[in-house]
């Protein structure tokens, strides 16, 4: 990575880049490479056995299924919440706006025990759902609730700035051309917001797939029923099965990398569609 600009005026290129690359390698790259090397030493049979045992397969189904549903729910309600925050004035709006980021700031373990207390049979929400025969805590439904909690701000915070930057002229033009409000939203606003909405969806999904702290308390962690994939890594570690844990970690890392590439692509699309820098 040599500087291509020979007329550099500012000092500190070598120092800052050198430091950045060394620290990045030490903290992030070398430890990540360790996982792949360790997995590589497993041998294909052992690796495949570790990542495709029935319990692990069940955990993939739950993790990806619940993450997908949670991200979809967050996309719908996150768009509505972002819309309300940008377009309407209402009492307590600033408080709501600030608290949307709560899942970023609240430690996941705290969220986990709070959600469990809420949705347990004697909890505020659990008590209401019990007569309806709906049990949330210690079932896959509990996993879904936790993943909705941690994913919501991703959708709101990616869509909100795009809605704020939207010029009113386009909607006014649409209306003056005879569109009704719904058509103006459907054909003018929605296409502009769509890339950001998909970015928010992908971010919420990616976060949900790796989530651990907020889920394990409410999930109940019943084998084959409510075990998430990150918990399978912990379970293997507790049994001193480092090879098995590493194999599952490699699967999760590869999925994270693919999701990261998709999110970067979506962000580039958002920037292009709205003329807005990332």
Distance between CA atoms of residues 52 and 111, nearest Å: 31
- Residue found by looking up tokens 């045992």 in the block: 53
Residue-wise DSSP of 176-188? HTT--HHHHIIII
Q: By CB under 8 A, which span of 50-58, 129-137, 154-162, 219-227 interacts with other proteins?
A: 154-162
CB of 137 to other proteins, least distance (A): 13
Tell which positions 192-251 bind other proteins, by CB under 8 A: 199, 203, 206-207, 209-213, 217, 230-231, 233-234, 237, 242, 245-246, 249
* 49 vs 175 by CB, closer to other proteins: 175
Tell which positions 90-129 bind other proteins, by CB under 8 A: 90, 93-94, 96-111, 113-115, 117-118, 123-125
Tell which positions 128-147 bind other proteins, by CB under 8 A: 145
* 108 vs 135 by CB, closer to other proteins: 108
φ/ψ (deg, to 5) at 241? -90, 75
Q: Look up residue 76 and give its two tokens.
A: 């719908």
- Widest pairwise Cα distance in the chain: 74
Instruction: Please select the residue that binds other proteins; options are 67, 139, 192, 267, rule is CB under 8 A.
Output: 267
Instruction: Please select the residue that binds other proteins; options are 132, 176, 178, 275, rule is CB under 8 A.
Output: 176
Is residue 220 within 8 Å of residue 62, measured between CB atoms? no
Total residues in contact with other proteins, by rule CB under 8 A: 112
Q: By CB under 8 A, which span of 47-55, 82-90, 130-138, 219-227 interacts with other proteins?
A: 82-90
Distance between CA atoms of residues 194 and 10, nearest Å: 40
> Quick check: 17 binds other proteins (CB under 8 A)?
yes
- Residue found by looking up tokens 């570690």 in the block: 237
* 41 vs 52 by CB, closer to other proteins: 41
CB of 49 to other proteins, least distance (A): 19
Whole-number Cα distances in Å, 85 to 99, 121, 187, 198, 204: 12, 34, 21, 19, 19
- The enclosing H or E element of 59 equals helix 54-87
* 58 vs 205 by CB, closer to other proteins: 205
Distance between CA atoms of residues 7 and 275, nearest Å: 30
Instruction: Please select the residue that binds other proteins; options are 46, 69, 129, 157, rule is CB under 8 A.
Output: 157
């Amino acid at each position: 990575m040599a500087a291509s600009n020979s007329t550099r005026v500012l000092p500190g290129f070598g120092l800052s880049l050198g430091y950045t690359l060394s620290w990045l390698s030490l903290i992030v790259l070398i430890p990540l490479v360790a996982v792949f090397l360790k997995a590589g030493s497993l041998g294909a049979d052992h690796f495949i056995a570790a990542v495709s045992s029935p319990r692990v397969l069940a955990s993939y189904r739950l993790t990806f299924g619940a993450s997908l549903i949670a991200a979809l729910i967050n996309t719908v309600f996150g768009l509505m919440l972002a819309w309300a925050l940008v377009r309407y004035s209402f009492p307590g709006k600033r408080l709501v706006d600030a608290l949307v980021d709560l899942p970023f700031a609240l430690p996941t373990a705290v969220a986990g025990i709070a959600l469990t207390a809420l949705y347990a049979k004697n909890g505020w929400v659990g008590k209401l759902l019990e007569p309806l025969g709906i049990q949330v805590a210690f079932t896959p439904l509990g996993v879904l609730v936790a993943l909705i909690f941690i994913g919501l701000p991703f959708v709101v915070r990616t869509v909100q700035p795009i809605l704020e930057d939207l010029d009113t002229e386009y909607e006014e033009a649409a209306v003056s051309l005879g569109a009704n409000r719904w058509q103006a939203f459907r054909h003018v606003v929605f296409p502009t917001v769509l890339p950001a909405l998909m970015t928010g969806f992908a971010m919420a999904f990616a976060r949900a797939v790796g989530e651990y702290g907020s889920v394990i308390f409410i999930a109940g962690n019943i084998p084959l029923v409510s075990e998430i994939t990150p918990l399978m890594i912990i379970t293997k570690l507790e049994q001193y099965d480092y090879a098995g844990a590493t194999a599952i970690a490699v699967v999760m890392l590869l999925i994270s990398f693919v999701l990261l590439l998709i999110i970067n692509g979506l962000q580039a699309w958002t920037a292009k569609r709205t003329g807005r820098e990332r």
